[in-house]
Structure 1
C-alpha cells in the first residue's frame, strides 16, 4: 500500500505538469518573436560544412528509410506515457529513480519552456511559411514526394502546428519550437538512465536516441544544433540532479 501511494505521488505531478507544458509551449513565438533561426543555420553550416540534412541525405535519404524514421519519431510519445510511468513504479534503485524523475521534470521546465522561449526558433519545416526563407524548400519537397509513396504522419502534424500558429491558437498539442529539441532531450535522458540499469537497455536507448537525433533533422523539425544543445543541457541537468539526490539521501540518513 505504501509503495502504491508513493508511486501515485510520483506520477501525479507529471500528469498535472505535461498538460501545463503543452499550454506554455503554445506561447513560444508569441512571447518573443522567432529571431534565432538564421544564427542556428550558420552554426549548422559552420559545424558540418553545409546544412545538416544535406550531409545525411545520401545515407538515409531513401523513401522507405524516411518512412521508418518517421514512425520512430512518432512513437517517441510512448516515452512519456508508457516508459516514464514504468520508471515511476520501478523498484530497482530508489536513488536512480529519483534522479530520473527530477531530471525529467527539470528538462521540461528548463529546456522545454525556459530555453525554448528564450531561443525561439521555427526550424527548417516552418522556415518558409513563417519567416519567408525558402532555404529548406528542397528538403520539404523531398518529404512531400516520399509522402506520395509512404504516409508520413509527421507532415500532417507539421501542417496542424502551422495552421494553429497562423490562426493564433493556443492550447494543448500546439506550439512551434525548434531550439532545443525536447525529442532529443527526452531520448537522451532515457539513454542515460538505461546505461545505469543495464547494458542492453543502455544500448537500445542509445540507438533510439541517435535515430531521434537524425530523424529530427531529416524530417525537417530541427537543425542539428538543436539536438546538440539539448544533449549538453540534459547531461548537465542529469549530473546536477544526481548530486542533489545523493546529498539529500545522505542528509536524510545522517544521525
Structure 2
C-alpha cells in the first residue's frame, strides 16, 4: 500500500507541474487545486456514501484493527490519485481539441442495429425510477469507486492480489481515464449539439426532460461542467473536467467486478450486475456513448490479463 501511496502522490505532483506549465504559475490555479482536494476529502470522508459502506468497513475495522493504518494510506493515496487524474483530465481539450464524438456516435448507431443506444435504454424508462438511477450512478458508484484501496487494505490478506489490483486500479484511472481519453478526446452525447452544433441528440435531451432529469444532481453536474468549459476557454480547472471516452464509471465498476470474481464467486454476480447497471446508466443519463463503456471493459480486462503475468505468485 505504501508503494501505491507514493505512486499516487508522485502522479499528483506530475499533474500539478503539467498544469502549471500549461496555464502558467498563479496562486489562483494552485488555490483551485487545493479546493479540488478539499472537495474530494469531504466527499470521500464525510459524504453520504459513507453511510452506505460503513457496515462493511466497520466489520473489517473491528475484525482487523491492525490494518487501519494501511487503510488510511489507501485513503490518502486515493485522494492524491483522483486529484491528479482530474487535473490531467481538465487539460484534455488543451492538448487535443474535442474531435471523436461523431465517430463514436456512428459506432453506436452501427453496433445497435441502426438505433441509438440512448433510445434503446429510454424504452425501459417505465421500469426505472429517476431518483434511484441518479443515486446509483452518482452516489453508490462513488462509494465503491473511492473506497476500493481502503477495502483491499482492510479485507484482503493476499499481498500479491492486493498489489495486482492496486496496480489495476491506478492504471485504470491513468491509462483509461487520462491517456486514452486524451487520444480520443470527446464530450459525450449530452454536450454533442451544444459543442458541434445541430440537433443530433435533441430527441435525447427532450426524452431526458420527459424523464424528469432536469434538477437532479446529474443534471446539475452536467450544467456545471459545461459552464466551466465555456468560462475557462477549454482550460478546465478545479474539477470542472469533461471527457466521455472511455467511461471511468464503467472502468472502476469493472475493476470491482473483476476483483470480486477472482476473490469470491459468491459475490461475483452482484459485482458484475453492478458494472452492467453502471454501463446502462451511463447511456441512460446521456453522459456516454455505449462504446465508451464497452471500451472501458475491454481495457480493464486487458490490463488485468497483463498484470496477471507481471504480478503473480
- TM-score normalized by structure 2? 0.73
By how many angstroms is 1:125 displaced? 0.3
- Alignment-derived partner of residue 183 in structure 2: 118
- Alignment-derived partner of residue 59 in structure 2: none
Cα distance per residue 1:145-181 (max 9 Å; x no partner)? 3227x85221111001100001115324211111000
| 8 Å CA contact 2:95, 2:182 repeated in 1 | yes
| 8 Å CA contact 2:248, 2:296 repeated in 1 | yes
- The runs of 5 or more residues in structure 2 that have no matched partner are 1-64
Residue 77 to residue 4, structure 1, CA distance change in 2 (3 Å):
closer
Residue 33 to residue 106, structure 1, CA distance change in 2 (3 Å):
same
- Alignment-derived partner of residue 161 in structure 1: 225
**Greater mean deviation of Cα atoms: 166-175 or 213-222:** 166-175
- Alignment-derived partner of residue 71 in structure 1: 135
**Aligned-partner Cα distance in 1 for 2:273–2:173:** 22
By how many angstroms is 1:35 displaced? 0.6
Cα distance per residue 1:50-104 (max 9 Å; x no partner)? 211112222x223843432222101211123334311233233222211111000
- Indicate whether 1:137 and 2:202 are aligned: yes
Give the root-mean-square deviation of aligned CA atoms.
Answer: 2.1
Matched position secondary structure for 2:147 = helix
| 8 Å CA contact 1:88, 1:101 repeated in 2 | no
- Alignment-derived partner of residue 252 in structure 1: none
- Alignment-derived partner of residue 198 in structure 1: 264
- The runs of 5 or more residues in structure 1 that have no matched partner are 250-255
The structure whose RCO (Cα within 8 Å, separation 6+) is larger is: 1
What is the count of residue pairs matched by the alignment? Answer: 245
Residue number among 91, 103, 124 corresponding to 1:39 in the alignment: 103
- Indicate whether 1:244 and 2:310 are aligned: yes
| 8 Å CA contact 2:78, 2:146 repeated in 1 | no
**Aligned-partner Cα distance in 1 for 2:247–2:178:** 11
Matched position secondary structure for 2:287 = coil
Residue number among 188, 207, 213 corresponding to 2:273 in the alignment: 207
| 8 Å CA contact 2:71, 2:149 repeated in 1 | no
**Aligned-partner Cα distance in 1 for 2:192–2:164:** 37
**Aligned-partner Cα distance in 2 for 1:16–1:183:** 18
Residue 63 to residue 203, structure 1, CA distance change in 2 (3 Å):
closer
Question: Structure 2 matches for 1:16-27, cutoff 5 A?
Answer: 16-27=80-91
| 8 Å CA contact 2:70, 2:150 repeated in 1 | no
**Greater mean deviation of Cα atoms: 235-244 or 116-125:** 235-244
By how many angstroms is 1:2 displaced? 7.9
Matched position secondary structure for 1:115 = helix
| 8 Å CA contact 1:124, 1:136 repeated in 2 | yes
Matched position secondary structure for 1:170 = coil
**Aligned-partner Cα distance in 2 for 1:212–1:117:** 22
By how many angstroms is 1:214 displaced? 0.5
**Aligned-partner Cα distance in 2 for 1:227–1:64:** 20
- Indicate whether 1:103 and 2:168 are aligned: yes
